[in-house]
Amino acid sequence: MRVSLKDVAAHAGVSIKTVSNVVNNYQHVTPAMRERVQRSIDALGYRPNLAARHLRKGRTGIIALALPELGNPYFAELAAAVIDAAAEHDYIVLLDHTGGRREQEILVSQGFRARVIDGLILSPIELEAKDFRDRAEPVPLVLLGEREYDLPYDHIAIDNVAAARAAVRHLVSLGRRRVAFIGARRGRSQPAQLRVQGWREELTAAGLPADGSLVAATDGWGHADGAAAMAHILDGGERPDAVFAYNDPMAIGAMRVLHERGLRVPEDIAVVGFDDVLEGRFSAVTLTSVSPDKAAIGRLAVESVLARLRDAAPEPRRIRAGHRLVERESTLGRPPAVHGTGT
């Protein structure tokens, strides 16, 4: 049988209103009373009815998260960050997969699930600004990713140009002089364009040529795309001594081709990825990667939705999340083995 507020009140010897104040974390409850009620909550195993709580506020308690590629490790880890952040506010997340298709992104952004969600977090790939201008849906919308839109919505992203420059700067600091870029996607892709821009700017700042023959465009961003792009560059002429990949799956695909060609990572060619997904930390040669602060992105996205629901946010904001470069074996090499001295 489900434990109710009335049961907790009777056990603690207080009013139902007092129990409700404790459960809802109202500040005017004295510490002694809060402790007394909490002991009864713990003893009876009371769990708040979150659905009822949200319904009393005219809410559903659900935030939708629409992502382009659930099979991409970055988006899987980002989804986990959003779910964790939402849970801290007693919200659950409805996950949607758009496949990066414009028609599906339009359907999601126009609020086809508006009756069951309180807000939408969307990471668009193909949507244009004009696709949002006729949006009449009042459900708050928060955008993720690096596509630039002049729109009245909060937009959370990292600085891709700065992140790419940090990756290339690391390679140059190690003495690398021919740095390739793989993943300059064919067609529209602002994130890829921004990362190529960072690659070019940092090489130029270092007095090195940004050789266009070392840029490989791809149709996708998976392991096979990275492998094909790496093979294309190796077959194209003078060999690079470093590779900066659009993301970690592409970097891992590239490292596989380098291994098959008898080239050592990083002795012959150093490799840097982007996104710092779990797979790269456990590859045969651990992967140096740009690590976006996924936890912060998830938290900022959820907080932005809730602020809009409370009508407590200022004008729409462009919010920058942090990033850092995590250096591993694919650029630094393996650490020397430590041998025991015996007894």
Look up the CATH number of domain 160-292+327-332. 3.40.50.2300
User: Residue 179 pairs with which residues in a beta bridge?
Assistant: 242
pLDDT, tens only, 228-264 = 999 999 998 889 999 999 999 999 999 999 999 999 9
Q: Which of 8, 85, 79, 16 is nearest to 45 (CA)?
A: 8
Q: What pLDDT score was predicted for residue 327?
A: 98
Nearest to 144 by CA among 158, 134, 130: 158
Q: How far apart are CA 304 and CA 320, in angstroms?
A: 13
Q: Residues 113-139: pLDDT tens digits? A: 667 889 999 999 888 888 887 776 678
Q: What is the pTM of this model?
A: 0.80
pLDDT at 127: 84
Q: Which CATH architecture has domain 57-158+294-312?
A: 3-Layer(aba) Sandwich (3.40)
Could you tell me the pLDDT band of residue 343, with boundaries at 50, 70 and 90? very low
Measure CA 311 to chain center. 25
> What is the percent of the chain with per-residue pLDDT over 70, rounded to a whole number?
90
pLDDT at 49: 61
Largest CA-CA distance found in the chain, in angstroms, rounded: 82
Q: Which residues make Cβ contacts (< 8 Å) with residue 278, sequence separation at least 6?
A: 73, 77
10 Å CB burial of residue 34 (0-12, 13-18, 19+) is middle
2-6, 69-73, 93-97, 271-275: range with highest mean pLDDT: 271-275
Strands 288-292 and 323-326: antiparallel
Which numeric CATH code is attached to 5-48? 1.10.260.40
pLDDT digits (tens, 9 = 90+) for 56-72: 555 678 999 999 988 88
Q: How many CB atoms lie within 10 A of CB 24?
A: 10
Least confident of 142-156, 214-228, 240-254: 142-156
DSSP state of 96: E
pLDDT given at position 313: 61
Average pLDDT over the chain, rounded to whole? 88
Among 2-6, 44-48, 212-216, 314-318, top mean pLDDT goes to 212-216
Domain boundaries, the chain: 5-48, 57-158+294-312, 160-292+327-332
Q: Do domains 57-158+294-312 and 160-292+327-332 have the same CATH topology?
A: yes
Distance CA 19, CA 44 (A): 13
Q: What single DSSP character describes residue 266?
A: T
pLDDT at 215 over 50: yes
**Contact call for residues 163 and 290 (beta carbons, < 8 A):** yes
> Could you tell me the sign of the dihedral formed by the alpha carbons of 68, 73, 76, 80, in that order?
negative
